[in-house]
Amino acid sequence: MASTITTNSIHSPSNASRLSSLYLSRNRISPNNVLFKTPSQSLLATKAKRFAFSPFPENRKSLVAKTLSFPGWTQQIRLTSSVVVKAAADAEGHAEPAKSFGERFPALVTGFFFFTWYFLNVIFNILNKKVYNYFPYPYFVSVVHLLVGVVYCLVSWGVGLPKRAPIDKELLALLTPVAFCHALGHVMSNVSFAAVAVSFTHTIKALEPFFSAAASQFVLGHQIPLSLWLSLAPVVIGVSVASLTELSFNWTGFISAMISNIAFTYRSIYSKKAMTGMDSTNVYAYISIIALLVCIPPAVLIEGPQLMQHGFRDAIAKVGLVKFLSDLFWIGMFYHLYNQVATNTLERVAPLTHAVGNVLKRVFVIGFSIVVFGNRISTQTGIGTAIAIAGVAIYSLIKANMEEQNRKADITHAS
């Protein structure tokens, strides 16, 4: 039986209708891989256009010895392979998923986390200090901060954003000391904010990398190089100079800021450990709940009597009930949001890097607080603050270089 191959179709007097039932179509299989064998000839279709046999999977894997036989034909069509890898993988459902934006640009996403953290923190510090100007009760305000955050977490869990992660006794025992450090650091920070200028509190808290490095070496057993210790010397010197000449200096503000440094250092270290089996959002939610329970007793004992006698009454008389309540709500909301973002950022970086970012954040807070509140600072305080920030910059460069060398060493070791 004669058969004819053209550039557009395959013709056979007796089998045209049968071929059409196989959904023969164009633009799939290379003609170089279709071989027609007849009793008298073997013809390689090199000029024909591409065809596709839709009953077969689009698979680049060899389909060796797959034979199509048609009644009335003595030809055999032998398929060997001819479909691109991506199409084959898609057809079989084994295609590698496309990388997300965060996977393609991790540094950009981390930078966005830091920027959002800074922005929310600046707003919180400004509003918080404005409240202390007419309502100087830091223990009670600390409770309000946490209470608003806990309500926010409960509502988020209620709508499933995020889904609440279950907690067991082991994880609760791990989170409790973290929450205690969080509560202590939070209350002490607010005591300092209420006692001295915001800029001075954040200058003192610039010492956090020093405490973080000390804890990493002496508590966690991580060896901190001498060069990194030396880079922290300007930070210590700068803070000391700024403290000696600060116009708003008092010991309550200074000591409470130092205690908050220690507390937040331990919080960062143990929060990192607690993220093993739970996402950072749920971790911070549970920490907030526990911390709230820790903060309520001292607030009631220390400030409760004063608040009941004249604290609430004086604040309402100065700004009105609506503004008083709205101010408390918004500082609580911004406090929770900036800490949530800070926790998410900690999940992406090492504790020491997080501490450095925390110090750089204070540059923004100090600058904005001076502009907004018109705080007067002496020349020596300005110089001391500049020295401290310069020390942080040196520390950041050395730390970044160390992390890059460790990364390259890990890659070399893995290969």
**pLDDT tens string 338-357:** 888 887 787 777 766 776 67
Is 389 within 8 Å of 241 (Cβ atoms)? Answer: no
Domain-located, residue 273: yes
State which of 21-30, 76-85, 272-281 shows the largest mean pLDDT.
272-281
The CA distance from 191 to 185, in Å, is 10
- Distance between CA atoms of residues 270 and 268, nearest Å: 6
Residue 292 CA to residue 288 CA, distance in Å, equals 6
Residues contacting residue 258 through CB under 8 Å, at least 6 positions apart: 204, 207
pLDDT for residue 97: 64
Contact 242, 203 (CB under 8 A): yes
Mean pLDDT of 5-13: 43
C-alpha 144, offset from chain centre: 26
Quick one: the chain helix, strand, coil %, rounded to 5?
Answer: 70, 5, 25
| Residues 406, 216: Cα–Cα separation, whole Å | 17
pLDDT for res 32: 46
Q: Count CA within 13 A, CB hemisphere, residue 89.
A: 8
The yes-or-no verdict on residue 45 having pLDDT over 50 is no
pLDDT at residue 300, as a whole number:
95
Residue 43 lies in a domain: no
pLDDT band at 359 (very low <50, low <70, confident <90, very high): low
Q: Residue 351: inside a domain, yes or no?
A: yes
* CA 53 from centroid of its chain's CA atoms: 48
Rounded to two decimals, what is the model's pTM? 0.66
288 in a domain, yes or no?
yes
pLDDT band per the 50, 70, 90 thresholds, residue 66: very low
| Cα 45 to Cα 42: distance, rounded to the nearest angstrom | 10
**Residues 58-82: what's their mean pLDDT?**
42
Whole-number pLDDT of residue 357: 73
Rounded to a whole number of angstroms, the CA Rg of the chain reads 34
Does residue 377 or residue 40 have the better pLDDT?
377
Predicted confidence at residue 179, as pLDDT, reads 93
pLDDT at 288 > cutoff 50 = yes
- How many Å apart are CA 76 and CA 34, to the nearest integer? 10
Phi, psi angles (nearest 5°) of residue 130: -65, -35
CB atoms within 10 A of CB 177: 14
DSSP label of 48: S
Task: State the Cα angle at 112 between 96 and 398, rounded to 5°.
Answer: 100
DSSP structure class, residue 95: P
CA–CA distance, 345 with 48 (Å, rounded to integer): 59
Range ranked top by mean pLDDT from 57-61, 141-145, 251-255, 354-358: 141-145
Percent of the chain with pLDDT over 70: 72
* Residue 324 lies inside a defined structural domain of this protein: yes
Torsion of CA 307, 311, 312, 317, to 10 degrees: 170
| CB distance 316 to 181 below 8 Å | no
* Residue predicted with more confidence, 307 or 106: 307
CA distance 261 to 355: 10
Grouping H, G, I as helix, E, B as strand and the rest as coil, residue 310 is: helix
- Answer whether residue 73 shows pLDDT above 60: no
What pLDDT sits at residue 275? 59
Q: What is the pLDDT of residue 330?
A: 96
Q: Give the model confidence (pLDDT) of 193-236 as tens digits.
A: 999 888 888 778 878 778 888 888 888 788 888 888 888 888 88
Residue 306 domain-assigned (yes or no): yes
Q: How confident is the model at residue 310 (pLDDT cuts 50, 70, 90)?
A: very high
Task: Indicate whether 53 belongs to any domain.
Answer: no
Full residue range of the structural domain in which residue 232 is found: 108-413
The chain-wide mean pLDDT, for the chain, equals 75
Predicted pLDDT at 52: 38
Least confident of 157-161, 383-387, 393-397: 393-397
Domain count, the chain: 1
Overall average pLDDT of the 276-283 stretch: 76
pLDDT for the residue numbered 308? 92
Distances (CA, A) of 203 to 152, 207, 217: 31, 8, 24
194 domain residue, yes or no: yes
The stretch 267-284 carries a mean pLDDT of: 74
Position 316 scores a pLDDT of: 95
160 CB contacts (<8 Å, ≥6 apart)? none
